[in-house]
Structure 1
Amino acid sequence: MTSTCLITGASSGIGRQLALHYAANGWTVYALARSADKLAELSKNAGIHALPLDLTDNTAIQATAANLLDQGVILDLVLLNAGTCEYVDANDLDLAAFERTFAVNYHAVVAASKYFMPLLKASLSPQLAIVSSMAHFFPFTRAEAYGASKAAVSYFTDSLRVDLAGSGISVHLIEPGFVDTPLTQKNDFAMPFLVSVNEAAERIYNGLRRGNSRIRFPRRLSVMLKLLSVLPYNLRNAVALRMKQQ
Protein backbone atom coordinates (compact mmCIF):
# COMPACT_ATOMS: atom_id res chain seq x y z
CA MET A 1 0.00 0.00 0.00
CA THR A 2 1.41 3.40 -0.99
CA SER A 3 2.20 5.81 1.83
CA THR A 4 1.17 9.45 1.51
CA CYS A 5 2.79 12.61 2.85
CA LEU A 6 2.18 16.34 2.80
CA ILE A 7 5.18 18.67 2.75
CA THR A 8 5.06 22.45 3.18
CA GLY A 9 7.66 24.81 1.76
CA ALA A 10 8.15 22.37 -1.10
CA SER A 11 9.00 24.84 -3.86
CA SER A 12 12.71 25.10 -2.98
CA GLY A 13 15.45 24.07 -0.60
CA ILE A 14 14.91 21.28 1.91
CA GLY A 15 11.19 20.99 1.16
CA ARG A 16 11.70 20.48 -2.55
CA GLN A 17 14.39 17.88 -1.99
CA LEU A 18 12.22 16.07 0.56
CA ALA A 19 9.35 15.95 -1.93
CA LEU A 20 11.65 14.43 -4.56
CA HIS A 21 13.16 12.02 -2.03
CA TYR A 22 9.81 10.73 -0.78
CA ALA A 23 8.42 10.42 -4.30
CA ALA A 24 11.53 8.50 -5.41
CA ASN A 25 10.90 6.09 -2.53
CA GLY A 26 7.37 5.34 -3.72
CA TRP A 27 5.37 7.80 -1.63
CA THR A 28 2.48 9.90 -2.89
CA VAL A 29 3.48 13.48 -2.11
CA TYR A 30 1.27 16.54 -1.71
CA ALA A 31 3.65 19.47 -2.16
CA LEU A 32 2.56 22.80 -0.71
CA ALA A 33 4.12 26.24 -1.22
CA ARG A 34 3.21 29.75 -2.26
CA SER A 35 4.98 29.58 -5.63
CA ALA A 36 2.58 27.96 -8.11
CA ASP A 37 5.12 28.04 -10.95
CA LYS A 38 7.81 26.20 -8.99
CA LEU A 39 5.29 23.66 -7.72
CA ALA A 40 4.04 23.05 -11.26
CA GLU A 41 7.60 22.23 -12.32
CA LEU A 42 8.06 19.98 -9.29
CA SER A 43 4.81 18.12 -9.97
CA LYS A 44 6.19 16.92 -13.31
CA ASN A 45 7.92 14.27 -11.20
CA ALA A 46 5.84 11.11 -10.75
CA GLY A 47 3.96 10.89 -7.48
CA ILE A 48 4.04 14.61 -6.63
CA HIS A 49 0.85 16.66 -6.53
CA ALA A 50 1.13 20.46 -6.37
CA LEU A 51 -1.07 22.42 -3.96
CA PRO A 52 -0.29 26.15 -4.13
CA LEU A 53 -1.05 27.67 -0.75
CA ASP A 54 -0.22 30.75 1.29
CA LEU A 55 0.52 29.32 4.73
CA THR A 56 -0.06 32.68 6.40
CA ASP A 57 -3.73 32.44 5.37
CA ASN A 58 -5.48 30.29 7.98
CA THR A 59 -8.71 30.17 5.97
CA ALA A 60 -6.82 28.85 2.94
CA ILE A 61 -5.11 26.16 5.04
CA GLN A 62 -8.46 25.07 6.45
CA ALA A 63 -10.00 24.94 2.97
CA THR A 64 -7.09 22.90 1.58
CA ALA A 65 -7.32 20.41 4.43
CA ALA A 66 -11.11 20.13 4.03
CA ASN A 67 -10.71 19.53 0.30
CA LEU A 68 -8.22 16.72 0.89
CA LEU A 69 -10.49 15.22 3.52
CA ASP A 70 -13.43 15.33 1.09
CA GLN A 71 -11.29 13.47 -1.46
CA GLY A 72 -10.68 10.72 1.07
CA VAL A 73 -6.97 11.46 1.36
CA ILE A 74 -5.28 9.75 4.30
CA LEU A 75 -1.92 11.19 5.27
CA ASP A 76 0.76 9.06 6.89
CA LEU A 77 3.11 12.01 7.35
CA VAL A 78 2.63 15.75 7.65
CA LEU A 79 6.01 17.45 7.33
CA LEU A 80 5.87 21.16 8.15
CA ASN A 81 9.04 22.57 6.65
CA ALA A 82 8.17 26.06 5.35
CA GLY A 83 10.23 28.85 6.88
CA THR A 84 11.80 32.22 6.34
CA CYS A 85 14.62 34.28 7.81
CA GLU A 86 15.02 38.02 8.23
CA TYR A 87 17.89 39.63 10.11
CA VAL A 88 17.21 42.76 12.14
CA ASP A 89 19.03 45.82 13.44
CA ALA A 90 18.91 46.02 17.25
CA ASN A 91 19.17 49.81 17.11
CA ASP A 92 16.02 50.07 14.99
CA LEU A 93 13.98 46.91 15.45
CA ASP A 94 11.78 46.29 12.42
CA LEU A 95 8.46 45.21 13.90
CA ALA A 96 7.15 44.17 10.50
CA ALA A 97 10.11 41.79 10.09
CA PHE A 98 9.19 40.11 13.38
CA GLU A 99 5.58 39.79 12.28
CA ARG A 100 6.52 38.30 8.91
CA THR A 101 8.98 35.86 10.44
CA PHE A 102 6.61 34.64 13.13
CA ALA A 103 3.73 34.46 10.64
CA VAL A 104 5.58 31.88 8.54
CA ASN A 105 7.86 30.17 11.06
CA TYR A 106 5.47 29.84 13.99
CA HIS A 107 1.83 30.79 13.43
CA ALA A 108 1.65 28.89 10.12
CA VAL A 109 3.06 25.80 11.85
CA VAL A 110 0.37 25.97 14.52
CA ALA A 111 -2.41 26.48 11.97
CA ALA A 112 -1.14 23.71 9.68
CA SER A 113 -0.89 21.34 12.65
CA LYS A 114 -4.48 22.12 13.61
CA TYR A 115 -6.00 21.65 10.16
CA PHE A 116 -3.90 18.81 8.73
CA MET A 117 -3.78 16.55 11.80
CA PRO A 118 -7.31 15.18 11.17
CA LEU A 119 -6.01 13.68 7.90
CA LEU A 120 -3.51 11.64 9.91
CA LYS A 121 -6.03 9.93 12.16
CA ALA A 122 -6.93 7.11 9.76
CA SER A 123 -3.29 6.21 9.13
CA LEU A 124 -1.84 3.08 10.73
CA SER A 125 1.37 4.92 11.67
CA PRO A 126 0.74 8.69 11.53
CA GLN A 127 3.64 11.10 11.91
CA LEU A 128 3.69 14.86 12.39
CA ALA A 129 7.17 16.28 11.73
CA ILE A 130 8.07 19.92 12.25
CA VAL A 131 11.25 21.64 11.07
CA SER A 132 12.81 24.09 13.49
CA SER A 133 16.51 25.01 13.67
CA MET A 134 19.52 24.84 15.95
CA ALA A 135 19.74 28.64 15.70
CA HIS A 136 17.83 29.09 18.97
CA PHE A 137 20.55 27.29 20.96
CA PHE A 138 22.79 30.37 20.99
CA PRO A 139 22.31 34.17 20.78
CA PHE A 140 23.53 34.83 17.25
CA THR A 141 23.88 38.42 16.09
CA ARG A 142 20.91 39.97 14.22
CA ALA A 143 18.88 36.76 14.72
CA GLU A 144 16.39 38.13 17.26
CA ALA A 145 13.39 37.44 15.00
CA TYR A 146 14.53 34.18 13.40
CA GLY A 147 15.99 32.56 16.53
CA ALA A 148 13.01 33.51 18.68
CA SER A 149 10.57 32.08 16.13
CA LYS A 150 12.48 28.80 16.01
CA ALA A 151 12.65 28.61 19.80
CA ALA A 152 8.86 28.94 19.78
CA VAL A 153 8.54 26.19 17.15
CA SER A 154 10.73 23.78 19.11
CA TYR A 155 8.84 24.39 22.34
CA PHE A 156 5.49 24.02 20.56
CA THR A 157 6.58 20.72 19.02
CA ASP A 158 7.89 19.23 22.28
CA SER A 159 4.78 20.32 24.18
CA LEU A 160 2.50 18.98 21.43
CA ARG A 161 4.23 15.60 21.66
CA VAL A 162 3.34 15.40 25.35
CA ASP A 163 -0.31 16.28 24.76
CA LEU A 164 -0.68 13.90 21.79
CA ALA A 165 0.80 10.95 23.66
CA GLY A 166 -1.62 8.07 23.37
CA SER A 167 -3.39 9.55 20.33
CA GLY A 168 -1.45 7.37 17.91
CA ILE A 169 0.18 10.40 16.23
CA SER A 170 3.94 10.53 16.77
CA VAL A 171 5.48 14.01 16.83
CA HIS A 172 8.99 14.63 15.53
CA LEU A 173 11.19 17.72 15.93
CA ILE A 174 13.75 18.42 13.20
CA GLU A 175 16.52 20.88 14.08
CA PRO A 176 19.04 21.24 11.25
CA GLY A 177 22.09 23.43 11.23
CA PHE A 178 23.18 25.28 8.11
CA VAL A 179 21.84 23.74 4.89
CA ASP A 180 22.81 25.02 1.45
CA THR A 181 19.49 26.46 0.22
CA PRO A 182 18.40 29.65 -1.56
CA LEU A 183 17.61 31.07 1.90
CA THR A 184 21.05 30.46 3.41
CA GLN A 185 22.80 31.50 0.20
CA LYS A 186 21.79 35.07 1.11
CA ASN A 187 23.87 34.93 4.30
CA ASP A 188 26.94 37.15 4.37
CA PHE A 189 28.81 35.19 7.06
CA ALA A 190 30.64 31.87 7.34
CA MET A 191 28.32 28.91 7.92
CA PRO A 192 30.19 26.12 9.74
CA PHE A 193 29.53 22.50 8.78
CA LEU A 194 27.25 23.47 5.88
CA VAL A 195 25.41 20.45 4.43
CA SER A 196 23.73 19.98 1.04
CA VAL A 197 19.97 19.72 0.60
CA ASN A 198 20.48 16.13 -0.57
CA GLU A 199 22.17 15.21 2.69
CA ALA A 200 19.57 17.10 4.73
CA ALA A 201 16.67 15.34 3.01
CA GLU A 202 18.29 11.95 3.45
CA ARG A 203 18.94 12.52 7.15
CA ILE A 204 15.37 13.67 7.73
CA TYR A 205 13.92 10.78 5.73
CA ASN A 206 16.03 8.18 7.56
CA GLY A 207 15.40 9.76 10.96
CA LEU A 208 11.65 9.72 10.46
CA ARG A 209 11.74 6.17 9.14
CA ARG A 210 13.51 5.15 12.36
CA GLY A 211 10.90 7.03 14.37
CA ASN A 212 13.36 9.44 16.01
CA SER A 213 11.55 12.01 18.14
CA ARG A 214 14.28 14.57 17.49
CA ILE A 215 16.48 14.83 14.42
CA ARG A 216 19.52 17.14 14.64
CA PHE A 217 22.32 17.48 12.13
CA PRO A 218 25.15 17.94 11.49
CA ARG A 219 26.36 16.33 14.69
CA ARG A 220 29.51 18.46 14.93
CA LEU A 221 27.52 21.68 15.04
CA SER A 222 25.05 20.21 17.52
CA VAL A 223 27.86 19.20 19.87
CA MET A 224 29.55 22.61 19.54
CA LEU A 225 26.33 24.50 20.35
CA LYS A 226 25.54 22.19 23.26
CA LEU A 227 28.97 22.89 24.73
CA LEU A 228 28.45 26.63 24.33
CA SER A 229 25.04 26.37 26.03
CA VAL A 230 26.54 24.94 29.24
CA LEU A 231 29.10 27.70 29.65
CA PRO A 232 28.58 30.08 32.57
CA TYR A 233 26.13 32.75 31.44
CA ASN A 234 28.58 35.66 31.39
CA LEU A 235 31.18 33.61 29.53
CA ARG A 236 28.54 32.53 27.01
CA ASN A 237 27.67 36.18 26.43
CA ALA A 238 31.34 37.02 25.95
CA VAL A 239 31.68 34.27 23.32
CA ALA A 240 28.58 35.57 21.49
CA LEU A 241 30.03 39.10 21.48
CA ARG A 242 33.35 37.88 20.13
CA MET A 243 31.60 35.96 17.36
CA LYS A 244 29.70 39.12 16.44
CA GLN A 245 32.94 41.09 16.13
CA GLN A 246 34.61 38.59 13.82
Structure 2
Amino acid sequence: MSATILITGASSGIGRETASYYAQQGWTVYAVARSEDKLAALAAEHPEKIIPVSLDLTDYAAMQEWQASLPAALHFDVVLLNAGNCEYVEANDLDLDAFARTFAINFQAVVSSTKLLLPRLKAGNTLAIVSSMAHFFPFTRSEAYGASKAAVSYFVDSLRVDLSDSGIHICLIEPGFIDTPLTQKNDFQMPFLMPVAAAAKRIFDGIEAGKLRLRFPRRLAYLLKTLSVLPYGLRCKLAAKMKQS
Protein backbone atom coordinates (compact mmCIF):
# COMPACT_ATOMS: atom_id res chain seq x y z
CA MET A 1 0.00 0.00 0.00
CA SER A 2 1.37 3.42 -0.94
CA ALA A 3 2.01 6.11 1.63
CA THR A 4 -0.65 8.79 2.07
CA ILE A 5 -0.32 12.52 2.65
CA LEU A 6 -2.89 15.28 3.19
CA ILE A 7 -1.88 18.75 1.95
CA THR A 8 -3.87 21.92 2.53
CA GLY A 9 -3.63 24.90 0.22
CA ALA A 10 -3.05 22.46 -2.63
CA SER A 11 -4.63 24.47 -5.45
CA SER A 12 -1.66 26.79 -6.07
CA GLY A 13 1.87 27.76 -5.09
CA ILE A 14 3.87 25.62 -2.69
CA GLY A 15 0.90 23.40 -1.88
CA ARG A 16 0.15 22.52 -5.49
CA GLU A 17 3.79 21.91 -6.40
CA THR A 18 4.34 19.78 -3.29
CA ALA A 19 1.19 17.75 -3.95
CA SER A 20 2.39 17.13 -7.49
CA TYR A 21 5.86 16.13 -6.28
CA TYR A 22 4.50 13.64 -3.75
CA ALA A 23 2.21 12.15 -6.40
CA GLN A 24 5.19 11.71 -8.72
CA GLN A 25 6.93 9.77 -5.94
CA GLY A 26 4.00 7.35 -5.83
CA TRP A 27 2.17 8.75 -2.81
CA THR A 28 -1.59 9.02 -2.52
CA VAL A 29 -2.34 12.71 -1.98
CA TYR A 30 -5.45 14.19 -0.38
CA ALA A 31 -5.28 17.67 -1.92
CA VAL A 32 -7.33 20.17 0.10
CA ALA A 33 -8.30 23.66 -1.08
CA ARG A 34 -11.37 25.77 -1.82
CA SER A 35 -11.09 25.81 -5.62
CA GLU A 36 -12.81 22.78 -7.17
CA ASP A 37 -11.63 23.69 -10.67
CA LYS A 38 -7.95 24.00 -9.73
CA LEU A 39 -8.08 20.78 -7.72
CA ALA A 40 -9.73 18.97 -10.63
CA ALA A 41 -6.96 20.17 -12.94
CA LEU A 42 -4.33 18.94 -10.49
CA ALA A 43 -6.04 15.56 -10.13
CA ALA A 44 -6.21 15.22 -13.93
CA GLU A 45 -2.41 15.53 -14.06
CA HIS A 46 -1.98 12.65 -11.61
CA PRO A 47 -4.72 10.07 -12.20
CA GLU A 48 -5.40 7.78 -9.22
CA LYS A 49 -2.82 9.61 -7.08
CA ILE A 50 -4.55 12.91 -6.26
CA ILE A 51 -7.80 12.87 -4.27
CA PRO A 52 -9.28 16.39 -4.51
CA VAL A 53 -11.04 17.72 -1.41
CA SER A 54 -12.81 21.05 -1.84
CA LEU A 55 -13.03 22.63 1.61
CA ASP A 56 -12.94 26.08 3.18
CA LEU A 57 -10.51 25.61 6.06
CA THR A 58 -12.03 28.56 7.91
CA ASP A 59 -15.38 26.71 8.04
CA TYR A 60 -14.91 24.42 11.03
CA ALA A 61 -18.33 22.78 10.73
CA ALA A 62 -17.64 21.79 7.12
CA MET A 63 -14.24 20.43 8.12
CA GLN A 64 -15.80 18.38 10.92
CA GLU A 65 -18.37 16.95 8.52
CA TRP A 66 -15.69 15.97 6.00
CA GLN A 67 -13.42 14.44 8.61
CA ALA A 68 -16.31 12.40 9.99
CA SER A 69 -17.02 11.06 6.48
CA LEU A 70 -13.57 9.47 6.18
CA PRO A 71 -13.13 5.75 6.85
CA ALA A 72 -12.49 5.18 10.54
CA ALA A 73 -9.33 3.21 9.81
CA LEU A 74 -7.76 5.89 7.60
CA HIS A 75 -4.48 7.29 8.89
CA PHE A 76 -2.16 9.70 7.11
CA ASP A 77 1.57 9.12 6.99
CA VAL A 78 2.03 12.88 6.66
CA VAL A 79 -0.28 15.84 7.19
CA LEU A 80 1.09 19.05 5.67
CA LEU A 81 -0.78 22.19 6.75
CA ASN A 82 0.29 24.72 4.14
CA ALA A 83 -2.73 26.93 3.35
CA GLY A 84 -2.19 30.63 3.92
CA ASN A 85 -2.47 34.12 2.52
CA CYS A 86 -0.79 37.51 2.81
CA GLU A 87 -2.51 40.88 3.10
CA TYR A 88 -0.51 44.06 3.60
CA VAL A 89 -1.94 46.81 5.82
CA GLU A 90 -1.44 50.53 6.39
CA ALA A 91 -0.32 51.54 9.89
CA ASN A 92 -2.22 54.84 9.83
CA ASP A 93 -5.51 53.08 9.15
CA LEU A 94 -5.25 49.45 10.24
CA ASP A 95 -7.69 47.27 8.34
CA LEU A 96 -9.25 45.09 11.03
CA ASP A 97 -10.95 42.90 8.46
CA ALA A 98 -7.57 42.17 6.86
CA PHE A 99 -6.23 41.08 10.25
CA ALA A 100 -9.27 38.86 10.80
CA ARG A 101 -8.97 37.24 7.37
CA THR A 102 -5.22 36.73 7.69
CA PHE A 103 -5.41 35.14 11.13
CA ALA A 104 -8.42 33.04 10.14
CA ILE A 105 -6.54 31.19 7.39
CA ASN A 106 -2.92 31.52 8.54
CA PHE A 107 -3.41 30.65 12.20
CA GLN A 108 -6.91 29.62 13.27
CA ALA A 109 -7.24 27.20 10.35
CA VAL A 110 -3.92 25.62 11.35
CA VAL A 111 -5.17 25.12 14.90
CA SER A 112 -8.55 23.71 13.84
CA SER A 113 -6.97 21.44 11.22
CA THR A 114 -4.53 20.16 13.82
CA LYS A 115 -7.40 19.42 16.22
CA LEU A 116 -9.35 17.48 13.59
CA LEU A 117 -6.46 15.63 11.96
CA LEU A 118 -4.35 14.61 14.95
CA PRO A 119 -6.58 11.54 15.49
CA ARG A 120 -5.65 10.53 11.94
CA LEU A 121 -1.95 10.37 12.88
CA LYS A 122 -0.21 7.72 14.93
CA ALA A 123 3.30 7.08 16.20
CA GLY A 124 5.77 7.33 13.34
CA ASN A 125 3.60 9.71 11.30
CA THR A 126 4.41 13.38 10.64
CA LEU A 127 2.53 16.62 11.15
CA ALA A 128 4.26 19.36 9.13
CA ILE A 129 3.12 22.96 9.38
CA VAL A 130 4.18 25.84 7.13
CA SER A 131 4.99 29.16 8.78
CA SER A 132 7.36 31.77 7.31
CA MET A 133 10.64 33.57 7.90
CA ALA A 134 8.64 36.82 7.84
CA HIS A 135 8.44 36.92 11.64
CA PHE A 136 12.25 37.04 12.00
CA PHE A 137 12.40 40.74 11.18
CA PRO A 138 9.86 43.62 11.15
CA PHE A 139 9.02 44.31 7.51
CA THR A 140 6.93 47.23 6.37
CA ARG A 141 3.13 46.74 6.11
CA SER A 142 3.49 43.16 7.41
CA GLU A 143 1.79 43.64 10.78
CA ALA A 144 -0.97 41.13 9.99
CA TYR A 145 1.00 38.55 7.99
CA GLY A 146 4.15 38.55 10.14
CA ALA A 147 2.18 38.36 13.39
CA SER A 148 0.11 35.44 12.10
CA LYS A 149 3.24 33.52 11.13
CA ALA A 150 4.91 34.27 14.46
CA ALA A 151 1.83 32.75 16.10
CA VAL A 152 2.09 29.66 13.89
CA SER A 153 5.76 29.07 14.69
CA TYR A 154 5.19 29.39 18.43
CA PHE A 155 2.15 27.10 18.19
CA VAL A 156 4.19 24.41 16.43
CA ASP A 157 7.09 24.58 18.90
CA SER A 158 4.74 24.39 21.88
CA LEU A 159 2.71 21.59 20.28
CA ARG A 160 5.88 19.57 19.76
CA VAL A 161 6.60 19.77 23.49
CA ASP A 162 3.15 18.54 24.45
CA LEU A 163 3.17 15.72 21.89
CA SER A 164 6.71 14.59 22.70
CA ASP A 165 5.45 11.29 24.14
CA SER A 166 3.06 10.54 21.27
CA GLY A 167 5.62 9.35 18.71
CA ILE A 168 4.17 11.80 16.18
CA HIS A 169 6.91 13.79 14.47
CA ILE A 170 6.34 17.56 14.29
CA CYS A 171 8.06 19.53 11.53
CA LEU A 172 8.07 23.34 11.36
CA ILE A 173 8.59 24.73 7.84
CA GLU A 174 9.64 28.38 7.55
CA PRO A 175 10.19 29.35 3.90
CA GLY A 176 11.50 32.65 2.66
CA PHE A 177 10.55 34.12 -0.72
CA ILE A 178 9.25 31.40 -3.04
CA ASP A 179 8.19 32.13 -6.62
CA THR A 180 4.43 31.58 -6.40
CA PRO A 181 1.30 33.48 -7.50
CA LEU A 182 1.22 34.99 -3.98
CA THR A 183 4.73 36.46 -4.10
CA GLN A 184 4.33 37.48 -7.75
CA LYS A 185 1.97 40.20 -6.49
CA ASN A 186 4.76 41.82 -4.47
CA ASP A 187 6.07 45.13 -5.79
CA PHE A 188 9.43 44.99 -3.99
CA GLN A 189 12.71 43.14 -4.44
CA MET A 190 12.68 39.64 -2.93
CA PRO A 191 16.22 38.45 -2.10
CA PHE A 192 17.17 34.85 -2.84
CA LEU A 193 13.81 34.13 -4.53
CA MET A 194 13.52 30.33 -4.84
CA PRO A 195 11.67 28.44 -7.61
CA VAL A 196 8.60 26.69 -6.26
CA ALA A 197 9.77 23.29 -7.60
CA ALA A 198 12.93 23.58 -5.50
CA ALA A 199 10.85 24.42 -2.44
CA ALA A 200 8.65 21.36 -2.95
CA LYS A 201 11.70 19.11 -3.13
CA ARG A 202 13.14 20.71 0.03
CA ILE A 203 9.90 19.96 1.85
CA PHE A 204 9.76 16.36 0.64
CA ASP A 205 13.40 15.66 1.46
CA GLY A 206 13.20 17.40 4.85
CA ILE A 207 10.13 15.49 5.96
CA GLU A 208 11.62 12.22 4.74
CA ALA A 209 14.78 12.99 6.74
CA GLY A 210 12.76 13.61 9.90
CA LYS A 211 13.82 17.25 10.25
CA LEU A 212 12.38 19.22 13.17
CA ARG A 213 12.57 22.50 11.25
CA LEU A 214 13.11 23.46 7.62
CA ARG A 215 14.26 26.93 6.59
CA PHE A 216 14.97 27.79 2.98
CA PRO A 217 16.56 29.45 1.08
CA ARG A 218 19.40 29.04 3.58
CA ARG A 219 21.14 32.29 2.59
CA LEU A 220 18.02 34.28 3.48
CA ALA A 221 17.68 32.38 6.76
CA TYR A 222 21.26 33.23 7.71
CA LEU A 223 20.75 36.89 6.78
CA LEU A 224 17.51 37.31 8.73
CA LYS A 225 18.82 35.46 11.77
CA THR A 226 21.86 37.73 11.79
CA LEU A 227 19.61 40.80 11.63
CA SER A 228 17.45 39.42 14.45
CA VAL A 229 20.35 39.32 16.92
CA LEU A 230 21.39 42.92 16.39
CA PRO A 231 20.92 45.28 19.37
CA TYR A 232 17.23 46.12 19.51
CA GLY A 233 17.64 49.84 18.86
CA LEU A 234 19.90 49.24 15.86
CA ARG A 235 17.50 46.63 14.55
CA CYS A 236 14.60 49.09 14.73
CA LYS A 237 16.58 51.81 12.95
CA LEU A 238 17.66 49.41 10.23
CA ALA A 239 14.08 48.22 9.68
CA ALA A 240 12.88 51.83 9.37
CA LYS A 241 15.68 52.62 6.93
CA MET A 242 14.80 49.58 4.81
CA LYS A 243 11.21 50.83 4.65
CA GLN A 244 12.34 54.18 3.26
CA SER A 245 14.63 52.72 0.61
- TM-score scaled by length of structure 1: 0.97
1:69 deviation in Å?
A: 3.6
CA distance in 2, matches of 1:183, 1:172: 23
CA distance in 1, matches of 2:103, 2:188: 23
Whether the aligned pair in 2 keeps the contact of 1:179 and 1:200 (CA below 8 Å) is: yes
Structure 2: segments with no counterpart, 5+ residues: none
Indicate whether 1:62 and 2:61 are aligned: no
- The aligned runs of 1:97-136 (5 Å cut-off) are 97-121=98-122, 125-136=124-135
- The aligned runs of 1:70-219 (5 Å cut-off) are 70=72, 72-121=73-122, 125-219=124-218
**Offset from partner CA, 1:156-193 (integer Å, 9 cap, x none):** 00000000001011110000000000000000100000
1:73 deviation in Å?
A: 2.0
Structure 1 segments of 4+ aligned residues over 4 angstroms from their partners: none
Q: Which residue of 1 aligns with 2:237?
A: 238
**Letter matched to residue 175 of structure 1:** E
1:225 deviation in Å?
A: 0.5
Q: Which residue of 2 aligns with 1:48?
A: 50
1:63 deviation in Å?
A: 1.5
Q: Which residue of 2 aligns with 1:6?
A: 6
**Letter matched to residue 116 of structure 1:** L
CA distance in 2, matches of 1:102, 1:134: 16
**Offset from partner CA, 1:193-227 (integer Å, 9 cap, x none):** 00011000000100000000000001100000011
Q: CA RMSD in A?
A: 0.8
CA distance in 2, matches of 1:228, 1:34: 37
Q: Secondary structure at the match of 2:201?
A: helix
CA distance in 2, matches of 1:93, 1:232: 28
1:61 deviation in Å?
A: 1.3
**Offset from partner CA, 1:103-142 (integer Å, 9 cap, x none):** 0000000000000111112xx6210000000000000000
**Offset from partner CA, 1:18-41 (integer Å, 9 cap, x none):** 100001001000000010110011
CA distance in 2, matches of 1:168, 1:200: 26
Distance 1:69 1:158, change over 3 A: farther
CA distance in 2, matches of 1:167, 1:3: 20
For this pair of structures, how many residues does the alignment match? 243
**Letter matched to residue 26 of structure 2:** G
Structure 1: segments with no counterpart, 5+ residues: none
CA distance in 1, matches of 2:70, 2:27: 16
Q: Secondary structure at the match of 2:17?
A: helix
Q: Secondary structure at the match of 1:237?
A: helix
CA distance in 1, matches of 2:127, 2:242: 35
Q: Secondary structure at the match of 1:82?
A: coil
How many percent of aligned residue pairs carry the same amino acid?
65
**Offset from partner CA, 1:23-80 (integer Å, 9 cap, x none):** 100100000001011001111113000000000001111122211244x322110000
CA distance in 1, matches of 2:71, 2:227: 46
CA distance in 2, matches of 1:172, 1:212: 6
CA distance in 2, matches of 1:49, 1:230: 44
CA distance in 1, matches of 2:189, 2:38: 29
CA distance in 1, matches of 2:83, 2:131: 10
